[in-house]
Amino acid sequence: MVVDAAVAESLRGSKQVRLDLFVASCTERMAELFTGLRYGDDARAEDVTLYLEILDELWNPSLTGNVFAARVEAVEVLSELQPSEEELLDVADIYAFYAVLCLRYALLTRANGEPEDAVRCAHACLTALGQLDRNIPQDAFFESERESQRRFLLDGVSSGESLLRLRKSDRDASRERLLAVNSRLQA
């Protein structure tokens, strides 16, 4: 298993609020790999908007599971999750797929409260970043994601201010990942 054993165990024993924030944080760190790679494609503008709307909803602890269950259906029709006999070879398609997969598992976590979906969300992030590390000169993204997951579960989020700091940090990480993928696209 790619997910750190202590992280997986902690997720399986976590309260719903903690799971909700964990998957929101993971999705935030992956967001630019979808929105940044699909931005500018007029045919995908609605998909980018959908991703961003859902991302904001994931950070809202007052929304109920049925809101997220409906969103799962909307995400599952995105082209990244459609079955295909062809292997993903395009760099942008690969990372956009992982970003959507992460989003799907985050939504499932919020819809049903199942800790295994949070573990799958974490796994999707780590798999994408492990693959990125194998394809670029610097290889720090996988370990950085593992550390972010561990740190979240150790430190948690205790106030609105720390939640804002967490989200900003996650956005910064997402931007760095997009820059790395874009550099790979230009190589």
Answer with the residue of higher pLDDT: 161 or 104: 104
Residue with the larger pLDDT of the pair 139 and 150 = 150
The confidence score (pLDDT) of residue 84 equals 80
Q: Which of 144, 164, 145, 166 is nearest to 155 (CA)?
A: 166
Cα–Cα distances in angstroms (integers) from residue 107 to residues 18, 36, 138, 152, in the given order: 14, 20, 31, 19
* CATH number of the domain that residue 62 is part of: 1.20.1590.10
CA distances from 151 to 7, 111, 127, 172 (A): 9, 25, 19, 16
**In the predicted model, is pLDDT for residue 129 greater than 90?**
yes
pLDDT at 160 over 70: no
Amino acid 98: pLDDT: 98
Phi, psi angle pair for 2, to nearest 5°: -75, -35
Query: Number of folded domains in the chain?
Result: 1
Q: Please provide the average confidence, as pLDDT, over all residues in the chain.
A: 92
Is it the case that residue 161 has pLDDT exceeding 70? no
pTM tops 0.75, yes or no: yes
Kindly tell me if the per-residue pLDDT of 183 is higher than 90.
no
Write out the DSSP string of 120-155.
HHHHHHHHHHHHHHHTSS---HHHHHHHHHHHHHHH
Q: What is the pLDDT of residue 159?
A: 64
Tell me which range, 8-17, 145-154, 165-174, is most confidently predicted by mean pLDDT: 165-174
What is the pLDDT averaged over residues 143-159? 84
The parent domain of residue 167 ranges over 5-186
User: Is pLDDT at 134 greater than 60 in this prediction?
Assistant: yes
Give per-residue pLDDT as tens, 52-107: 999 999 999 999 999 999 999 999 999 999 988 887 778 999 999 999 999 999 99
